[in-house]
Amino acid sequence: LLMTLDRRRKMLAYLRRVNYSTFQNTCTQLGIQYSPPQPYTRRVTRRWLLKKALCIKVFQEKQKLKAAGRLKQRREWQARARAAREQQEKQAQEGTPV
């Protein structure tokens, strides 16, 4: 009986994906109210929690390292932009066209 019910459930799921109107007609003729299966939920274990915490910690540390690199790069860009601006101002004061 359980095997038959499981086979029927699989066939209805396939029919629902492939041809929804036929699926609806079949359900009404059989008097079935189809409910889709529950989404997969991970069982929370201590090992899984520790692994997740470690992954989060590694991600945060990597973000900190990236932030330091981005800050250094931003300062270099600002220094270059400042030097270029000063050079343009110097040229404008001398009267040399830019």
Higher confidence at residue 94 or residue 15?
A: 15
Where do we find the tokens 């040399």? 96
pLDDT tens, 4-33?
A: 989 998 999 899 999 999 999 999 999 988
Confidence of residue 97 (pLDDT cuts 50, 70, 90): low
Does the pTM surpass 0.85? The reply is: no
> Residues with Cβ < 8 Å from 7, sequence gap 6 or more?
none
pLDDT tens, 49-90?
A: 999 999 999 999 999 999 989 999 999 999 999 999 999 998
